[in-house]
Amino acid sequence: MAALGGDGLRLLSVSRPERQPESAALGGPGPGLCCWVSVFSCLSLACSYVGSLYVWKSELPRDHPAVIKRRFTSVLVVSSLSPLCVLLWRELTGIQPGTSLLTLMGFRLEGIFPAALLPLLLTMILFLGPLMQLSMDCPCDLADGLKVVLAPRSWARCLTDMRWLRNQVIAPLTEELVFRACMLPMLAPCTGLGPAVFTCPLFFGVAHFHHIFEQLRFRQSSVGSIFLSAAFQFSYTAVFGAYTAFLFIRTGSQGIVHRRVSEGMIGI
């Protein structure tokens, strides 16, 4: 498969700042400063994404349609501006990978079909286990469920359901843009491609901790259960983030639609 962005991330990883003599380093930022700028840029993006969810003051829970609509506006604004953070990072670090910003972020038509098809097949294989178990335990329920999923009326209802649009459309697209397409190019020169696969998801996992405050606010469960749920959520979202980061690097494309369950998202 093609490397990310027409070798964009590969170029970034091999062009990461190396230690230079003091005289040569006077003309630009050193490797330590470049890494700090990369980490700070990623942290700023994560905080901006999560912070945008709370710019609207409301006493309503997060699943209320009015709250969801407002948060749609916030995250779409932050996601639209997130590429500017990558441009600013390039100016501050002086790293020029020799490729366009869109290509670097994985937006390209070259190789789009294998980039979309192969990860989809791989993800389907990962879900075969629980699906087979469900079919053996409840064959009738599985058949009925497939009929409901494939029914046109079911899809029509989904398109008018704000929670469905949040969980299956807006959140996956904006999270992939901010936490994958923008963060990976900034981390790769500092850590290298391999470590970036496991470093980038940490920002994604930590960003889910904001659920603790909403759950405590509305007293949805005991304190112990809330923190235990948050720790578990951090674990599997970090693993999922590493999986998608690996696919991003191997395919070189953001043309991948990931299925999410509502508990697995940062929570618009």
d(CA 44, CA 255) in angstroms, rounded, equals 25
First-to-last alpha carbon distance for the chain, in angstroms, is 33
Q: Catalytic site residue 175?
A: yes
Catalytic residue among 175, 176, 211, 258: 175
Q: Catalytic site residue 110?
A: no
Count CA atoms closer than 13 A to 197's CA, side-chain side. Answer: 15
H, E, C per residue of the chain: CCCHHHHHHHHHHHCCCCCCCHHHHCCCCCHHHHHHHHHHHHHHHHHHHHHHHHCCCCCCCCCCHHHHHHHHHHHHHHHHHHHHHHHHHHHHHCCCCCCCHHHHCCCCCCCHHHHHHHHHHHHHHHHHHHHHHHHHHCHHHHHHHHHHHHCHHHHHHHHCCHHHHHHHHHHHHHHHHHHHHHHHHHHHHHHCHHHHHHHHHHHHHHHHHHHHHHHHHCCCCCHHHHHHHHHHHHHHHHHHHHHHHHHHHHHCCCCCCCCCCHHHCCCC
Catalytic residue among 18, 110, 176, 208: 208
Enzyme catalytic residues: 175, 208
